[in-house]
Amino acid sequence: MDIKEKAKAELESRIRKVEDLIAEKGVGSSYLSRAKRVQRNINLGIFVGGIAAIAGLTAWALSKNNREEE
């Protein structure tokens, strides 16, 4: 890695740190953290609901298949 690429990587790293600091401590940071929590909870709910739906459909299909075989 040459000096130009190292400098670019270092600048990008410092900019990310400043942006993270602003997001954490800046104006509206409490709203941002609350929105991230809500988004995470919604995504988890959708994921768990999807897993439950797939499990339910699988159980239904297996029970229906077992009834037809009898």
- Residue 46: in which H helix or E strand, if any? helix 29-69
Long-range contacts of residues 8-17, Cβ cutoff 8 Å, at least 24 apart: none
What does the alpha-carbon distance between residue 37 and residue 16 come to, in Å, rounded to a whole number? 21
At 65 the pLDDT is 77
What mean pLDDT, rounded, does the chain reach? 90
HSE of 11 in the Cβ direction (CA atoms, 13 Å)? 6
Q: Which pTM was predicted?
A: 0.58
What does the alpha-carbon distance between residue 59 and residue 47 come to, in Å, rounded to a whole number? 18
User: Which of 29-33, 39-43, 58-62 has the least mean pLDDT?
Assistant: 29-33
Query: How do residues 43-68 score in pLDDT, each as one tens digit?
Result: 999 999 999 999 999 999 999 877 76
Residue 12 DSSP SS3: helix
